Amino acid sequence: MATQTLVTSGNKELTVPKQEETELAPFEPMANIDPVERTMMMIERAYASGAPLEHIKQLLDMKREVEADGAKLRAEEAKRAYVAAMAEFKRETIVIARDKTNSQYDSRYASIGSLVNTVTPLLSKHGFSAAWIPDQTAGYKVTCTVTHKMGHSESLAMSMPLDSSGAKNPLQQVKSTMTYLRILTFEMLLGLASQDANLDDDGNGAGGKQKPAMDGVALSEALDNIANATHLTELKTIYEAAYKTAQAVQDEKGKVVGDKEAIKKLIAAKEKRKVELA
């Protein structure tokens, strides 16, 4: 054990253990400490020194205010990061492949799979993710939320009546409705060029005059359902519902004119399936 000799006031020598020198931690000004941590240090010191309870309550109130201010600042930073990243995302060239065929007009349109699978990698590139929340408590509603990696998110909700067009069964009606809502909210929230024409493209384009026609998607689904009918009774039900829809097509003046091309396709599909089921 190391010792040291001390000389007392009476000129007597006294040998005592030598105390080891300890290296002091560098001084860190409290101004450089995180505000919440600094407030906690003040509270701990107040407790240790036996400060009055009122003083400690004031420090706790200060801590809550500091935490609220910090959360507000972080939210503002996250929103700025979201806006900046979204601006970079919108500089991307996004081309949506038309991967489905409208059998009525032999034209192509983009499915929700093509839309989402094309856009999602570009969203991820800029720190975004997208999600949908369906709600059927009062009708049919979908909320799309786009979230940035810094924590800020923005949402858009839309609702619509059940899509009962064509010869859809109840499950297909719900699926069609939710699909439309997912596409619309996704496009609007991200500011993408509308894919409405792609979903139901009759080949005329926005600038041309559209002839009265049965909904293209509804006709495609009806033809698919006819081709997949498992027995003659089911075939009859599907065909009659689709036929009535095609017959009820109106022109711009509201006059019932029917869609003769659609009716021809429905009859041909029905007769073909009837032979197959015989």
Q: How do residues 62-101 score in pLDDT, each as one tens digit?
A: 888 878 887 888 899 999 999 999 999 988 888 777 777 6
Residue 245 lies in a domain: yes
pLDDT of 11 strictly over 60: no
Q: ∠124-126-132 over CA atoms, to 5°?
A: 50
Domain match, 136 and 253 both: yes
Residue ranges of alpha helices (H) inside the chain are 35-48, 53-89, 112-125, 170-190, 196-199, 216-227, 232-247, 260-277
What's the pLDDT score for residue 27? Answer: 46
Domain match, 230 and 268 both: yes
Domain match, 66 and 140 both: no
Domain match, 80 and 128 both: no
Residue 172 lies in a domain: yes
Least confident of 27-31, 144-148, 191-195, 200-204: 200-204
Average pLDDT value for residue range 144-167: 88
Residue 31 binned pLDDT confidence (cut-offs 50, 70, 90): low
Q: Reduced to 3 states, what is the DSSP secondary structure of residue 135?
A: strand
Query: Range of 168's domain?
Result: 100-205+212-277
Residue 209 binned pLDDT confidence (cut-offs 50, 70, 90): very low
Distance, CA of 90 to CA of 102 (rounded, Å)? 30
Domain match, 74 and 174 both: no
What's the pLDDT score for residue 277? Answer: 87
Q: How far, in whole angstroms, is CA 197 from its chain's centroid?
A: 22
What's the pLDDT score for residue 212? Answer: 62
Domain match, 82 and 149 both: no
pLDDT of 273 strictly over 50: yes
Q: How do residues 91-139 score in pLDDT, each as one tens digit?
A: 888 877 777 765 555 556 677 888 888 899 999 999 999 999 999 887 8
Domain match, 73 and 189 both: no
Residue 24 lies in a domain: no
What's the pLDDT score for residue 195? Answer: 47
Domain match, 43 and 125 both: no
Residue 14 lies in a domain: no
Average pLDDT value for residue range 211-234: 78
Domain match, 47 and 143 both: no
Residue 16 binned pLDDT confidence (cut-offs 50, 70, 90): very low
When the pLDDT of each residue in the chain is averaged and rounded to a whole number, the result is: 77
Residue 269 lies in a domain: yes
Distance, CA of 225 to CA of 167 (rounded, Å)? 8
Residue 199 lies in a domain: yes
pLDDT of 146 strictly over 60: yes
Distance, CA of 268 to CA of 249 (rounded, Å)? 19
Domain match, 225 and 113 both: yes
Residue 151 lies in a domain: yes
What's the pLDDT score for residue 24? Answer: 47
Domain match, 105 and 223 both: yes
Last residue of a domain, one of 68, 91, 114: 91
Cα-based torsion angle of the residue sequence 237, 243, 248, 252 in order, rounded to the nearest 10 degrees: 140
What's the pLDDT score for residue 17? Answer: 52
Last residue of a domain, one of 51, 72, 91: 91
Distance, CA of 14 to CA of 3 (rounded, Å)? 10
Which of these, 95, 97, 93, 94, lies nearest to 108 by C-alpha position? 97
Domain match, 85 and 173 both: no
pLDDT of 254 strictly over 90: no
Q: How many domains does the chain have?
A: 2
Residue 48 lies in a domain: yes
Last residue of a domain, one of 47, 69, 91: 91
pLDDT of 207 strictly over 50: no
Q: Long-range CB contacts (< 8 A, 24+ apart) of 63-68?
A: 63/36, 63/39, 66/35, 66/36, 66/39, 67/36
